[in-house]
Amino acid sequence: MNRIKQLFDQKKKDILSIYFTAGYPQLNDTCEIISQLEDNDIDLIEIGIPFSDPMADGPTIQASGTIALRNGMTLRILFHQLADIRKKVSIPLIMMGYLNPIMQYGFENFCKQCNEVGIDGAIIPDLPFDDYLKEYKPIAEKYDIKIVMLITPETSDERIRLIDDHTDGFIYMVSSASTTGAQSNFDDGKQAYFKKINSMGLKNPRLIGFGISNKATLDAAQANANGAIIGSKFITLLKDSMDIKEAVKNLKDSLSK
């Protein structure tokens, strides 16, 4: 069974997923970051593929991507780094990146390589859902790669139900229609959005991302979905400490108080 499915079958609440940019802070930090996150009880990891024009990302993740590209990170190098990751790590791993570098690599080749190294899913923010259904879904399913779709407060109920009907990993609930970045709390509008999605009775589990950076936003996300996704906060901690083990410890500390 796909590890994403296993995770959500075994753990229904309080799931914590962490995003980091592959190749940041240093080119060869990828596997060490993954290992340290698993050792600190993170449930799921999103491995960011750096790209020169990341339209959904805020300045923190954009800057990490720029440095990762400058360090020489490519998809080919990333797959090479991950070749033996399943000898060390058992939790679900997801690739997150934009369509351009994936298409340059070849979508089927990308899915095949993901399967070979033990990647369980992919989040491609700029992949149109209609194109996914027509062209990409059969290829992803062939290699057991769960394609995770994003919804925002602007996504129509009809589109949300279509996504729910045609995907089976989890739904990524973006907390706002803006770019990624830390927030101190979720306002009434976001809380209303969370409650609306809760009332729809969707079959897929949901994780809330964008803006989660402290205990208050983490608790709010986990109260309104199966769990939460943190990205910018962890990237900032990696930048501030430049030590992976310390950054992971500081992340756990910041979420507990």
Supply the CATH number for residue 30's domain.
3.20.20.70
Q: Which residue is it, tokens 């990409």?
A: 136
**Is 91 among the domain residues?**
yes
**Is 76 among the domain residues?**
yes
Active site residue 135: no
Active site residue 219: no
Q: Name the domain count of the chain.
A: 1
**Is 148 among the domain residues?**
yes
**pLDDT tens digits, residue range 164-183?**
999 999 999 998 654 444 44
**Is 256 among the domain residues?**
no
Q: Catalytic one among 29, 38, 43, 46?
A: 46
User: Which residue blocks in the chain are alpha helix, DSSP H?
Assistant: 3-10, 30-39, 59-71, 75-81, 99-105, 107-117, 129-131, 137-142, 157-166, 188-199, 215-224, 232-241, 244-254
pTM above 0.85, yes or no: yes
pLDDT of residue 54: 65
**Is 257 among the domain residues?**
no
**Is 9 among the domain residues?**
yes
pLDDT of residue 189: 81
pLDDT < 50 positions in the chain: 178-184
Task: For the chain, count helices (H), then strands (E).
Answer: 13, 9
Q: Catalytic one among 29, 38, 43, 57?
A: 57
**Is 110 among the domain residues?**
yes
pLDDT of residue 181: 42
Domain that holds residue 21: 3-251
